[in-house]
Amino acid sequence: MSHLQLDYIALEALDQWVQALESKETQRQVLGMTVFGAPEVLNVALPVGLDARAWPRVALPVLGHDTAAWVEVWSVPAGAAAVEHGEVAGVAYVRFAELVFAWLATPLLSLDQGLEQATQQTYDALFNALDQLGCPHPLRCWNYLPDILGAQQGEERYRIFNVGRHTSFLSHAAMIERHPPAACALGHPEGLGGPLTVYALASAKPAQPIENPRQMSAYRYPPRYGSRSPTFSRAAVAPIGDEEIAFISGTASIVGHETQHLNDVRAQTHETLNNIESLMERFRVERPAHDWQAADLQLKVYVRDAADLPLVRQVIEQRLGTAVPCFYLQAVVCRPDLLVEIEATTARSQ
């Protein structure tokens, strides 16, 4: 039985899925979940017992699937112990053994008044909560920022966000070059707002960061990308239970530190998959006990322009086959010249 399992469930099927999850045959329980969809579906009630936890909800429209919303669910075995849920200084959490799923949302008003400070305070609160919960090592962080490429006081909002995040990392035990988590940062499509939503999986034990030889480490980017570089690793491998979980950060058509294939979504998708294949090769080198293959991944794919979905999907299916689970969302990638971004997860028994 997988210790930490990721599933994407259509909102309409969630109630039935949760009932099956808790059955004697399955014996699993929810560690964390996030709802993705258009704003009008984000306020719908979740199954009894789940709704009370006010899980994170992100206004990113679903693409290419017959559902109004996807629910990203992380589950753990039910036999060993029950999950514990609560709140620490505004950070909601669910804890199971040496794992924590934690999240918080910072309102637009706070972001508009000072995005850098709001981001730093958001991450300070997250890190302080993880410390108190005994799981101080973030393995994977997700960031969803409204108007990510917009300007605020003459500076791009994503760059301001990076300054606040960087400052918080420097102030806490999650040192930038020792154990930076895998991560992504996406924006809402034009006209769709929301809070700064940050959620994370964390552990009592650090993950091993994995960098891509085809790309410069993001935290070493030159100043042309902002006064503070993005703070994340290209991927990370974490021992969880009797498995190793690989988290691949949001990955795009970047070689070195420069965007490739301007205005060509097909070529950008190929280049993105080249980077993911390169990371899988690094997994095979760093963790040679396992045969890490891209065909074993689960993909979450962010597409800037919904009209590009058929081309993106075609390339992914050509490269990885049709059996690889892919979940498509419309989102703004963190550079104006990037058209697609892909994140991925897979597990291997130790």
Among 123-137, 170-184, 309-323, the range scoring the smallest mean pLDDT is 170-184
Task: Please tell me the predicted confidence (pLDDT) of residue 178.
Answer: 65
Categorize the per-residue pLDDT at 323 as very low, low, confident or very high, splitting at 50, 70 and 90: very high
Residue-wise pLDDT tens digits, 51-94? 656 899 999 999 999 898 999 999 999 877 889 999 999 999 99
Query: Considering 211, 243, 271, 341, which one is annotated as catalytic?
Result: 341
- Residue 337 scores a pLDDT above 60: yes
Residue-wise pLDDT tens digits, 17-50? 888 887 766 688 999 999 999 888 788 888 767 7
- Residue 1 scores a pLDDT above 60: no
Query: Residues 37, 59: contact at Cβ < 8 Å?
Result: yes
- Percent of the chain residues past pLDDT 90, beyond the cut: 68
User: In the chain, helix, strand, coil percent, each to 5?
Assistant: 30, 35, 35
Query: Residues 162, 180: contact at Cβ < 8 Å?
Result: no
Average pLDDT of the chain is 91
Q: What is the mean pLDDT of residues 98-116?
A: 87
Q: What is the mean pLDDT of residues 170-187?
A: 80
Task: Please tell me the predicted confidence (pLDDT) of residue 47.
Answer: 76
Neighbours of 215 (CB within 10 A): 18
Residue-wise pLDDT tens digits, 197-254? 999 999 999 999 999 999 988 888 888 877 788 888 999 999 998 889 999 999 999 9
C-alpha distances in Å from residue 113, one per residue of 108, 116, 121, 186, 316: 9, 9, 13, 21, 41
Q: How far is 212 from 6, CA to CA, in rounded Å?
A: 24
Q: What is the mean pLDDT of residues 289-310?
A: 94
341 is catalytic: yes
Categorize the per-residue pLDDT at 283 as very low, low, confident or very high, splitting at 50, 70 and 90: very high
The DSSP annotation for 93-150 comes to: EEEETTEEEEEEEE-HHHHHH-HHHHHHHHHHHHHHHHHHTT--EEEEEEEEETTTTS
User: What is the pTM for the complete model shown?
Assistant: 0.95
Q: Which residues partner with 28 through β-bridges? A: 77
Could you tell me the residue ranges of all domains in the chain?
5-349
Task: Please tell me the predicted confidence (pLDDT) of residue 184.
Answer: 98
> Which range, 15-29, 95-109, 212-226, 326-340, is most confident?
326-340
What's the gap between Cα 303 and its chain centre?
A: 15
Give the tokens for residue 131.
């410390």
Using CA atoms of 77, 81, 87, 91 in order, give the dihedral in degrees to the nearest 10. Answer: -40
Task: Please tell me the predicted confidence (pLDDT) of residue 2.
Answer: 67
The DSSP annotation for 179-213 comes to: SPPEEEEEEPPTT----EEEEEEEESS--EEE--T
Residue-wise pLDDT tens digits, 74-84? 999 987 788 99
Q: Which CATH architecture is the domain 5-349 placed in?
A: 2-Layer Sandwich (3.30)
Task: Please tell me the predicted confidence (pLDDT) of residue 347.
Answer: 80
Q: Which amino acid is at 225?
A: Y
SS3 of residue 73 by DSSP: strand
